[in-house]
Chains A and B, each alone.
Chain A
Amino acid sequence: MVATILLTIGFSAVLAFLIGVALAFFNQKFKVERDPKIDEVRGALPGANCGACGFPGCDGYAEAVATGRAPTSKCSVGGSATAETLAKIMGIEGGIPEDKVAVLLCQGAIDKTVAKGTYNGIPTCRAAKLSTGSVKTCSWSCQGFGDCTNVCKFDALAMGEDGLPHVNYENCTGCGLCVEECPQKILTLVPRSRVGSIVLCSNRSTVKANVIKTCKVGCIKCELCVKSCPEGAITMVNGIPVTDYAKCTSCGICVQKCPTKCYKMLEIDVFGAKKEVPVMQEAQA
């Protein structure tokens, strides 16, 4: 009995010791020379292994950064602090990510637009877009089924009672998932620090009457903004006025002049909008 116990302990200990020594030996013998930068970069990453960077975990991203295959700005969890550290380790400049947020380029709320009819199909934007072209008479408008809110991982998007998704700019990380998901491609990423005016309309129709008929807050291509801008910062691109933010001084003249109120001030009307988002009561189950 005692002999068996002793033998058990002895044998297990000897085997474990032998294996331990063998492992240690082989670890040294088969050591692969690794770029020490990989470990350094890995140490600077948050270690959340979320995969938001598009690499298989922090290890994969660290290797990609260290070998120069990936920019230092991909880690959205670590944000600019991590990106700065990574850029320092790699000895490169300008690796700091722009803190971006999603902006919806449409103000076509239910009461501002005209529906084509009653849509009874699959309640997703993509299905509605595929089957009807657009549930509203404006082909560029938000479909309002909340595909974007469903993909948001940060609880930053919610459908409002007006039938449009509202971005909570405290939560938005600028990951771009909603931008990818939107079948209308009317969500866009804008740097959080950007100031100036922006057109919250995506209607590319060049026929003024069409826009007026379909939407109360659509850009009617009157080009008053282009003419009135004292800095000459606004140009029409593909039927939509585009602001040159290098010239824009946030004077607000275009916002005042715009007859359909589709020109908005980013820092006031978009980012500065009230934080409380009117959430629809009948959220889809």
Chain B
Amino acid sequence: MSKTITINNVTRIEGHAKITLHLDDQGMVQDAQFHVTQFRGFEKLCEGRPFYEMPSLMARICGICPVSHLLASAKACDDLMAVAIPKTAIKLRKILNMAQIMQSHALSFFHLSAPDLLLGMDGDPASRNIFGLMKDHAQLVQDGIQLRKIGQEIIALLGGKRIHPSWVVPGGVNKPLSEEHRDQILASLGECRPIIHRTLEIYKSIQANFKEEIQTFANFPSLFLGLVSPGGNLEFYDGNIRVADAARNTIADQIDTLDFNDYLEESVEKFSYLKSPYYKAFGYPDGIYRVGPLARLNIIDRCGTPQADEEWAEFQGLQRGAVLSSFYFHYARLIEVLFCAEMMERLLQSKDILDPHVRAYAKPNSFEGIGVCEAPRGTLMHHYRINKNGKIEWANLVIATGHNNLAMNRGVLQTARHFVKGEKIEEGMLNRVEAVIRAFDPCLSCSTHAVGQMPLNIELLSASGTLLDSVKR
């Protein structure tokens, strides 16, 4: 008799989701779906508002990566005003973005995924969390909290507060950086280097314990998409879109971000509120691509900072061609944090960083605007249309997690097929199915454009839908 296993909700992720596994008569996984069960409606509720309210309004999509939305939105507004914003403002926005990538990656790695990585996928779920981690890995937990704090404090020093700063405005930022704050940020960046190196060592020492997971965690050929600088370096704020295939061949390069609609199409699945974009030229579903840390490190020619480049060389050596296993998202995240620390330092030491000219003023000069930046989880696109008075008439957001939707679904199926067997639910099996999702570090609140706790509820349903077994934690 065929059965359905539901993992509802998926834990240690950002937002609400459930996973359904369909088993055949032999108890083998036939199909798997990753459902995003929350609905937000930001694209609709911003209609009728003035466009210069958008950065702060859109930042409310997320409390973890508000900066990404601030920036993508502000860039879309810059485009509506058709202005070139001051160079110093660009640098300040870049630093803000990297501070956020640092804190968000720290959250993903230390708070959400480290319990799986250090306590084992089959560890007792009661203690397989950050509190359980404190017992034997106190230093690591402290490092994680510290790293996240440093990122958040840089955001606060720049933008006035940690979450939802209203510092980023259409045309630039609304206050220049003070010398005092610059020095404070530089000092904290010095503090975070040893943490990053320690964590990289720990990660590398445990990587070998996860051979099976590496083999099966969304490990398949796909396209990779992200921003690169004109020279092919790692880039989170500016730059153009590059698409590379599984062999690391560049398929499309230096696509103007304003033209992203020509390359990507969105499909809608009945089982999820999350849209599934795909690469138009390859069609659906062959146009499956991944974004985020793994994708970014697969498409670039180099990071562009010395220490991150050393690590990146090692990362690249993991596999011929592109690094395909989504398990390596974790590794990629740590390398990006290192890059951010180095790059922020470099930008803060530039001569014009304290320049008081940080904002350009203009009325709307263009009725359609697009803003693209790299969020911690991948490429983020905001696209607005306004009327002549500057009122938003239409908005479309393509969110990092959305890009990964097809890949996450396929990854869940691959992992479930390998680990989930038979009729008896074993907690460790299902945790691996969740862990593959965690590797992507999806932000579902963003991608459905919630807050709340996420209890795990697993149900084993018969083909007719009757409940056969359930596990709660």
Verify that A and B bind, or say they do not.
no
User: Chain B residues in contact with chain A, CB under 8 A?
Assistant: none
